C-alpha cells in the first residue's frame, strides 16, 4: 500500500511536482485527478472547489485577522502623518475616514470564522472594496504627492498577496484601484507628464505580477489539497487542518473486502514488475468504481482491496452502495484482463458499528477498526471465486433491493459460527 502523506506545497517549485499526479486542466488527466480551470485556477467541479474553500477557512480567517491588525496600525500611523501634510480644513475629515477604515478589520478579527466555505472570500472581497473606496476618498482630500503613487502601487500588490480573494475579485480590485488613481485621485503631475506615464506602466506591471504570483500560490495550495484529497476523505481534511483529532465512532457503516483468488501462486511465477503492473491496473479500475458509487476506498494490503460506505459521512443507504459496488467489481473482472491476466475476486461484506480515524502524525492514514471489519474480512476469506459473501445483518439491510441465497456458515475470529448469504444480483424494478 502506498504511504499517505501531507506535503508542504506553498513553494511553487514543490507544487509543480504534485500537479501532474493530482491536478489537471479541463482537458483531462490521470484518473482521480482534480480538474482545474486554466483561466481562474479554481477547481472545475463546484464540489471540489467548495471542499477546498472549507478546508482553507481557518487559514484564511487567520490571514484576515493578521491583515486587520496591520490596517489598524496603518490607520494610527497615517493619522499622525496626515496631521503634518493635510490642510487644516480637511484634517478632521481625513482622520474620520482613517478611523472608519479600522472598524471592519476589528469586526472581522473579533468574529468567529463563518460556517460557509465562501464566507471568508466574500468578507475579504467586500472589505477590500470598502477599503479601496476609503483610500480613494482620503487621497482626494490630501494634497497630491509623488510618494502617494508609490503607496498605491504597493497597495495593489498587497491586494493580490494578502487577503484570501478569489482570482476574479483580486483582478477586479486591482483594476479598480488603477483606474481610480488615474481618474479620481489628484495626481502630482499632469496626465500627459512622463512621470505619470511611468507610474501607469508600473501599476499595470504590478497588476500583471500580482496575477501571476497569486496564480502560482493558489496552484501550490490546491496541489496540497489535491494530494490530501487523494489520500484522505475530503470531509476529513478541514478537521485535520483545524488541528482536530480525527477519530469517530459510527453506529452503522458497511465494510467491503475484495481479494484476488490464487494471487500467491500466480505471483510466484511472474516478474515483480509484471505483478505491480497487474495490481496497478486492477486497483485503478476498482478505485474508479468506488468513486462512481460514492464509496470510500480505505486501503490496499498486498492484493486485498478495502472500501467502506457510511464513513466518514453517514448515509442511510451505505449497505446498498457497497452491494452495488461489489456486483460491479465482479462484473468488471469477468469482462476484461489486467496486464494480460484474467483475474477472479472473492468479496466479503458486513455492516455494523465501527471506529474510524487518522493514525499518526507524520504519514497520515485514514483507517477503520472494530469487529465489523474483522467479520467482513472473514466473509471474504470464506468465499468462492467471484462470490460475494455477506453476513445476516448485511443481508437484512439490502433484502428489499437485492437477490440473495444461503451460503452456509463461516467461522469468525472469536471462534463463533455465523450464517452467511451470497449476493446474486440487484432486483429489477
Task: Give the pLDDT confidence of 166-184 residue by residue, as tens digits.
Answer: 888 999 999 999 999 999 9
Integer angstrom CA distances of residue 288 from 345, 396, 429: 17, 28, 26
Domain with CATH 3.30.70.1230 in the chain: 245-426
pLDDT recorded at residue 7: 34
Integer angstrom CA distances of residue 176 from 45, 70, 120, 335: 29, 22, 21, 59
CA distance 45 to 24: 12
Work out whether the CA dihedral 413, 414, 419, 425 comes out positive or negative.
negative
Higher per-residue confidence, 106 vs 4 = 106
CA distance 329 to 257: 11
CA distance 311 to 319: 12
- Exposed (0-12), middle (13-18) or buried (19+): which is 32, by Cβ within 10 Å? middle
Binned at pLDDT 50, 70 and 90, residue 29 comes out as: very low
Q: Which of 88, 103, 101, 165 is nearest to 136 (CA)?
A: 101
Q: Which fold has domain 245-426?
A: Alpha-Beta Plaits (3.30.70)
Q: Which of 183, 184, 102 is nearest to 140 (CA)?
A: 184
- In the block, cell 494490503 appears at 301
Binned at pLDDT 50, 70 and 90, residue 23 comes out as: low
Q: What would the mean pLDDT of 132-155 be, rounded to a whole number?
A: 90
Q: How many residues belong to the chain?
A: 429
The DSSP 8-state label assigned to residue 294 in this structure reads T
Higher per-residue confidence, 340 vs 109 = 340
pLDDT tens profile 376-420 = 999 999 999 999 999 999 999 999 999 999 998 888 887 788 999
Contacts 24+ apart (CB under 8 A), 197-205: 199/149, 199/153, 202/153, 203/149, 203/152, 203/153, 203/156, 203/177, 203/178, 204/178
CA distance 333 to 374: 25
Using the predicted structure, report yes or no on whether residue 4 has a pLDDT greater than 50: no
- In the block, cell 467586500 appears at 126
pLDDT tens profile 56-112 = 777 777 777 888 888 888 888 888 888 888 787 888 888 898 888 878 777 776 776
pTM over 0.75: no
Residue 411, helix vs strand vs coil: strand
- In the block, cell 482521480 appears at 32
Q: Which of 390, 373, 361 is nearest to 311 (CA)?
A: 373
Specify whether the CB–CB gap between 23 and 34 falls below 8 A. Answer: yes
- Which of the residue ranges 109-113, 133-137, 310-314, 367-371 would you say has the lowest mean pLDDT? 109-113
- Which of the residue ranges 259-273, 309-323, 354-368 would you say has the lowest mean pLDDT? 354-368
Mean pLDDT, the chain, whole residue set = 85
Binned at pLDDT 50, 70 and 90, residue 236 comes out as: confident
pLDDT recorded at residue 249: 92
pLDDT recorded at residue 380: 94
Contacts of 101 (CB under 8 A, 6+ apart): 71, 75, 131, 134, 135
Residue 296, helix vs strand vs coil: strand
pLDDT recorded at residue 10: 40
* Phi, psi dihedrals of residue 317, rounded to the nearest 5°: -100, 30
- Which of the residue ranges 190-199, 304-313, 353-362 would you say has the lowest mean pLDDT? 353-362
How many CB atoms neighbour CB 151 within 10 A? 12
Using the predicted structure, report yes or no on whether residue 250 has a pLDDT greater than 50: yes
Count of helix runs (H) and strand runs (E) in the chain: 15, 10
pLDDT recorded at residue 12: 43
pLDDT recorded at residue 227: 82
Q: What would the mean pLDDT of 267-294 be, rounded to a whole number?
A: 93
Residue 147, beta-bridge partner list: none
- In the block, cell 496575477 appears at 211
Residue 391, helix vs strand vs coil: coil
**What percentage of the chain has pLDDT greater than the value 90?**
45
pLDDT recorded at residue 309: 96
Amino acid at each position: 500500500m502506498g504511504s499517505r502523506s501531507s506535503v508542504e506545497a506553498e513553494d511553487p517549485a514543490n507544487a509543480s511536482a504534485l500537479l501532474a499526479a493530482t491536478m489537471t486542466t479541463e482537458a483531462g488527466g490521470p484518473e482521480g485527478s482534480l480538474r482545474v480551470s486554466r483561466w481562474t485556477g479554481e477547481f472545475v467541479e463546484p464540489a471540489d472547489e467548495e471542499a477546498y474553500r472549507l478546508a482553507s477557512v481557518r487559514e484564511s480567517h487567520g490571514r484576515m485577522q493578521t491583515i486587520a491588525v496591520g490596517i489598524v496600525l496603518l490607520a494610527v500611523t497615517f493619522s499622525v502623518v496626515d496631521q503634518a501634510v493635510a490642510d487644516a480644513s480637511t484634517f478632521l475629515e481625513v482622520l474620520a475616514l482613517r478611523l472608519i477604515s479600522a472598524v471592519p478589520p476589528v469586526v472581522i478579527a473579533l468574529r468567529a470564522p463563518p460556517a460557509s466555505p465562501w464566507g471568508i472570500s466574500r468578507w475579504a472581497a467586500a472589505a477590500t472594496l470598502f477599503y479601496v473606496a476609503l483610500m480613494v476618498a482620503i487621497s482626494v482630500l490630501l494634497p497630491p504627492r509623488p510618494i502617494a503613487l508609490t503607496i498605491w502601487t504597493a497597495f495593489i500588490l498587497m491586494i493580490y498577496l494578502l487577503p484570501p480573494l478569489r482570482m476574479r475579485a483580486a483582478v477586479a480590485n486591482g483594476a479598480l484601484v488603477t483606474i481610480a488613481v488615474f481618474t479620481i485621485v489628484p495626481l502630482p503631475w499632469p496626465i500627459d507628464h512622463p512621470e505619470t506615464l511611468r507610474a501607469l506602466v508600473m501599476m499595470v506591471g504590478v497588476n500583471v505580477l500580482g496575477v501571476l504570483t497569486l496564480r502560482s500560490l493558489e496552484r501550490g495550495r490546491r496541489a496540497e489539497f489535491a494530494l490530501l484529497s487523494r489520500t484522505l476523505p475530503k470531509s476529513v481534511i478541514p478537521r485535520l487542518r483545524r488541528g482536530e483529532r480525527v477519530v469517530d465512532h459510527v453506529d452503522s457503516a458497511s465494510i467491503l473486502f475484495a481479494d484476488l483468488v490464487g494471487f500467491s501462486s500466480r505471483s510466484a511465477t511472474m516478474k515483480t514488475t509484471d505483478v505491480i503492473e497487474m495490481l496497478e491496473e486492477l486497483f485503478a479500475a476498482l478505485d474508479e468504481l468506488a468513486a462512481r458509487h460514492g464509496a470510500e476506498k480505505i486501503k490496499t494490503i498486498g492484493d486485498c482491496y478495502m472500501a467502506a460506505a457510511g464513513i466518514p459521512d453517514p448515509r442511510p443507504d451505505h449497505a446498498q452502495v457497497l452491494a452495488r459496488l461489489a456486483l460491479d467489481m465482479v462484473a468488471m473482472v469477468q469482462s476484461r484482463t489486467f496486464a494480460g491476466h484474467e483475474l477472479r475476486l472473492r468479496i466479503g461484506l458486513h455492516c455494523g458499528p465501527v471506529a474510524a480515524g487518522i493514525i499518526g502524525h507524520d504519514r497520515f492514514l485514514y483507517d477503520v477498526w472494530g469487529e465489523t471489519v474483522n467479520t467482513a474480512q472473514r466473509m471474504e476469506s470464506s468465499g468462492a471465486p467471484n462470490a460475494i459473501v455477506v453476513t445476516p445483518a448485511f443481508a437484512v439491510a439490502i433484502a428489499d433491493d437485492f437477490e440473495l441465497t444461503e451460503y452456509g456458515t463461516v467461522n469468525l475470529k472469536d471462534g463463533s459460527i455465523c450464517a452467511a448469504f451470497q449476493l446474486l444480483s440487484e432486483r429489477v424494478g
